Amino acid sequence: MELIASASKTKEILNKYPFVFRKKYGQNFLIDSHVLNKIIEGAEIGREDFVLEIGPGIGSLTQVLSREAKKVVAVEIDSQLIPILEDVLKECDNLEIIHGDILKTDIKKIIEEKNNNQPIKVVANLPYYITTPIIMMLLENKLPVSSITVMIQKEVADRLIARPGTKDYGAITVAVNYYAVPYLVANVPRNCFIPRPNVDSAVIKLELRSEAAVEVKDEELFFKIVKAAFSQRRKKLMNNLISQEITDLSKDELALIFSQLAFDENIRGEMLSIEDFARLTNALKKE
């Protein structure tokens, strides 16, 4: 079957079926087969794999996933696209299309019922308006997922792979790295999509860790500290911890803990590595 991921085939499908782009759903369809190959290679999709695709659109990525994987379940929110997908991909007999919002879909149940609760791979060209909520939902729910390979805005990808002390390093960097190891698979220019988005993109792969990156006595406190540390980036960490009411300790008591951890009193949150955040959490939990 002819690849959907080309400008000509995409236009042909869009002319053949009734469809109007819905901006609110972040619809930018992939028209470049080289990028498609990079996604498949990056995700290391093989015959054994059960793949969950988020937002199949008109099926450019779905088509190749179905060709390479054992089974593909694709969740699409836009009702206009369901009959198009069912017709265009009717020959893909290992494909199941679900009409729904991925943030309201019971993914745990899908994995339990359709893959015997064995780890699955998530692959998607994500709708950019909800990139972070989707990634965090997949990570925080501790689902049996071995990897997440997704196209996202370049700017967000830069944040996920940032090093401490750089401008891109933030709460999302620490949160994602706590659960997974991120890799940059490819940079993707904006002309690889119809319609052309206003930003460049990148494919990243998150390989989920079997155990969190660091051991913390209180996970909730860890994430509160991380959030507070970046709440006002230019402020000192100590002031952010106090103003965000992370601790009841006085400034002097906090200063003592900082010195025990060998943190400078004036240090800003953006200088802390994930290990530093864990040490700080464990020190504050003890008090």
Name the residues that contact ligand SAM, by CB under 6 A: 25-30, 54-57, 60-61, 75-78, 81, 101-103, 125, 127, 130
Pairing of strands 71-76, 145-153: unpaired
Packing angle between helix 33-43 and helix 60-68, nearest 10 degrees? 40
Q: Hey, what are 265's tokens?
A: 């009193």
CB of 137 to ligand SAM, least distance (A): 10
Our CB check for ligand SAM shows the closer of 127 and 269 to be: 127
CB of 47 to ligand SAM, least distance (A): 22
Our CB check for ligand SAM shows the closer of 57 and 170 to be: 57
Does a cis peptide bond (omega within 30 degrees of 0) precede residue 56?
no
In order of 5, 123, 129, 219, the CA distances from 283 in angstroms are: 52, 38, 37, 13
Our CB check for ligand SAM shows the closer of 130 and 204 to be: 130
Q: Which residue is nearest to ligand SAM (CB)?
A: 55
Residues in contact with 100: Cβ distance below 8 Å, sequence separation at least 6, in sequence order: 75, 76, 77
Our CB check for ligand SAM shows the closer of 103 and 199 to be: 103
CB of 150 to ligand SAM, least distance (A): 10
CB-based contact 85:97 (threshold 8 Å)? yes
CB of 181 to ligand SAM, least distance (A): 24
